[in-house]
Amino acid sequence: MSNASSQVSSTHAAVTSRGLPGRSVLAGLLIGVGVAGFIDETVFHQLLHWHHSYDKSTPTAGLVSDGFFHAGSWIALVVGWFLIADMHRRRATVPRRVLAGGLLGWGAFQVYDGLFQHKVLDLHEIRYGVNLAPYDLIWNISGAIGILAGIALLFGSARPISLRPGVDVPETAGQHGQTASR
């Protein structure tokens, strides 16, 4: 075996023994933002017709802004899933961190949309012609809950979780690629 291929093998072994926690969080964040955007666009823009991404102009401008928003949401989802596929190929996915990132991404989208876009920039309201207080509270509190749950999962118990029932996940990874199972 050549020196270069042995370096690649040892690097691959090091990656798979501890996973890629940072990339796992990033993938989860992108997927969380993409899912939140997709739900917002589909439910509130298309099905309920409550608002557009930008409501301060013509209906055509609102539809165009929705198109850009929808495209951005899908790009985030696709990039997140490509990261997951790459980590899966390397056997380096850290499921707990993906889930934590997903909750953080979803919650951050909700809070950003509810506070910054709705209140600071005044791009649109959640719904027109109603008392906004209950809508704003539910929107922002649900986002805050997502953020807090993501933080708790990210920094809470170090015990790994599996997203597949019945699959045993190693408790700890040693420095030399050795794992101890439950």
Q: What pTM, to 2 d.p., does this model score?
A: 0.76
Q: In which band, very low, low, confident or very high, does the pLDDT at 4 lie, cut at 50, 70 and 90?
A: low
Contact 13, 177 (CB under 8 A): yes
Strand partners, 180: 172
Q: Which of 20, 166, 21, 33 is nearest to 89 (CA)?
A: 20
Q: Classify residue 20 as exposed, middle or buried by CB count within 10 Å of its CB (0-12, 13-18, 19+).
A: buried
- Higher pLDDT pick, 62 / 158: 62
Domain ranges of the chain: 16-158
Residue appearing with tokens 């420095």: 175
Q: In which band, very low, low, confident or very high, does the pLDDT at 173 lie, cut at 50, 70 and 90?
A: very low
CA angle 161, 165, 169 (to 5 degrees): 40
Radius of gyration for the alpha carbons in the chain, expressed in angstroms and rounded: 20
CA dist., res. 115 & res. 102, Å (int): 20
CA dist., res. 66 & res. 98, Å (int): 27
| Helix/strand number for the chain, H first, E second | 5, 2
179 phi/psi in degrees, rounded to 5: -120, 145
**Is residue 3 scored above 60 in pLDDT?**
no
What is the pLDDT, as a whole number, of residue 54? 85
Q: What is the pLDDT of residues 102-125, one digit of tens each?
A: 999 999 999 999 999 988 998 888
CA dist., res. 71 & res. 109, Å (int): 15
Q: What is the pLDDT of residues 69-107, one digit of tens each?
A: 999 999 999 999 999 999 999 999 999 999 999 999 999
What is the pLDDT, as a whole number, of residue 95? 94
The most confident of 52-56, 59-63, 151-155, by mean pLDDT:
151-155
